[in-house]
């Protein structure tokens, strides 16, 4: 169980997200990644190993955008590879980062594969992204989609979702895994530990289990 960070409304947020991930390094991790939305497209960088590797990738190819999510992974399902590093993206339009374990991911994955979803990682986490695609395709609004997804997944989680369907919105939820919101001036932040937010704002809200 490692680190999640996110921001909405923070100008060119990718550098800030990397900085927040560095503040979570003490928790240990094996890979990392960041996604932003810019010009109605999802852009992603992921790297195995230390954050310095992700840092180098971002310097070589910076990510624009004022909304984004980042992750440090401690692999539980699927090897330590770039393909298994978070964020995971489904259908090119929903990106997720997840800490924890989705116990019933196998059943969900099978069901979704039967309806044409194709998976690109060996993680338990990727089902969350596909469940949101399915819910948005069914016409559900973000709150109703989240309620539906939470009813389907079992296990421990803190997750954050970005979607081209709602490009100004960051969806978060938690159960048995920590997640805090930081309220800034014109921007909101999330982090799996308030340490990731302390340099950004002092107004921090701790989510409780099943909050979203």
Where do contacts with ligand GLU occur on this chain (CB under 6 A)?
1-2, 73-78, 98-101, 123-125
Please say which residue, 10 or 88, places its beta carbon nearer to ligand GLU.
Answer: 88
Q: Which of 70, 89, 94 is nearest to 165 (CA)?
A: 94
Cβ neighbors of 144 (< 8 A, separation 6 or more) are 135
Q: How far is the CB of 110 from ligand GLU (least distance, A)?
A: 18
Q: Which residues pair with 31 in a beta bridge?
A: 48, 73
**Treating both helix axes as pointing N-terminal to C-terminal, what angle do 142-152 and 126-137 enclose, rounded to 10 degrees?**
130
Three-state secondary-structure class, residue 36: strand
**Which stretches within the chain are classed as H helix?**
14-23, 51-60, 105-114, 126-137, 142-152
**Would you say 3 or 65 has its CB closer to ligand GLU?**
3
Nearer to ligand GLU, 179 or 187 (CB): 179
C-alpha 126/C-alpha 120 separation (Å) is: 8
Q: Smaller CB distance to ligand GLU: residue 66 or 177?
A: 177
Nearest distance from C-beta of residue 7 to ligand GLU, angstroms: 19
Provide the 10 A C-beta neighbour count for residue 151. Answer: 9
Pick between residue 9 and residue 78 the one whose CB is nearest to ligand GLU: 78
Q: Least distance in Å: CB of 186 to ligand GLU?
A: 30
Nearest to ligand GLU of 65, 100 (CB atom): 100
User: Which residue do the tokens 């194709």 mark?
Assistant: 118
Q: How far is the CB of 9 from ligand GLU (least distance, A)?
A: 26
Q: Measured from the CB of residue 99, what is the shortest distance to ligand GLU in angstroms?
A: 4
Q: Is 145 left (phi over 0), alpha (psi -120 to 50) or beta?
A: alpha
**Smallest gap, in angstroms, from Cβ of residue 107 to ligand GLU?**
16
């Amino acid at each position: 169980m490692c680190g999640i960070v996110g921001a909405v409304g923070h100008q060119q947020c990718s550098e800030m997200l990397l900085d927040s991930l560095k503040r979570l390094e003490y928790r240990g991790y094996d890979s990392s990644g960041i996604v932003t939305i810019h010009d109605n497209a999802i852009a992603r960088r992921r790297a195995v190993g230390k954050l310095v590797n992700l840092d180098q990738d971002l310097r070589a190819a910076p990510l624009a955008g004022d909304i984004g999510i980042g992750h440090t992974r401690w692999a539980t399902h699927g090897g330590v590879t770039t393909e298994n590093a978070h964020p995971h993206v489904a259908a090119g339009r929903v990106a997720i980062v997840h800490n924890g374990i989705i116990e019933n991911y196998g059943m969900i994955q099978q069901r979704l594969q039967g309806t044409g979803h194709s998976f690109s990682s060996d993680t338990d986490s990727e089902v969350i992204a596909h469940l949101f695609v399915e819910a948005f395709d069914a016409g559900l609004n973000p709150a109703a989609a989240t309620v539906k997804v939470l009813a389907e997944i079992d296990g421990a989680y803190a997750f954050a979702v970005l979607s081209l369907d709602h490009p100004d919105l960051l969806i978060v939820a938690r159960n048995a895994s920590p997640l805090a919101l930081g309220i800034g001036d014109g921007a909101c932040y999330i982090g799996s530990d308030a340490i990731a937010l302390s340099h950004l704002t002092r107004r921090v809200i701790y989510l409780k289990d099943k909050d979203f």
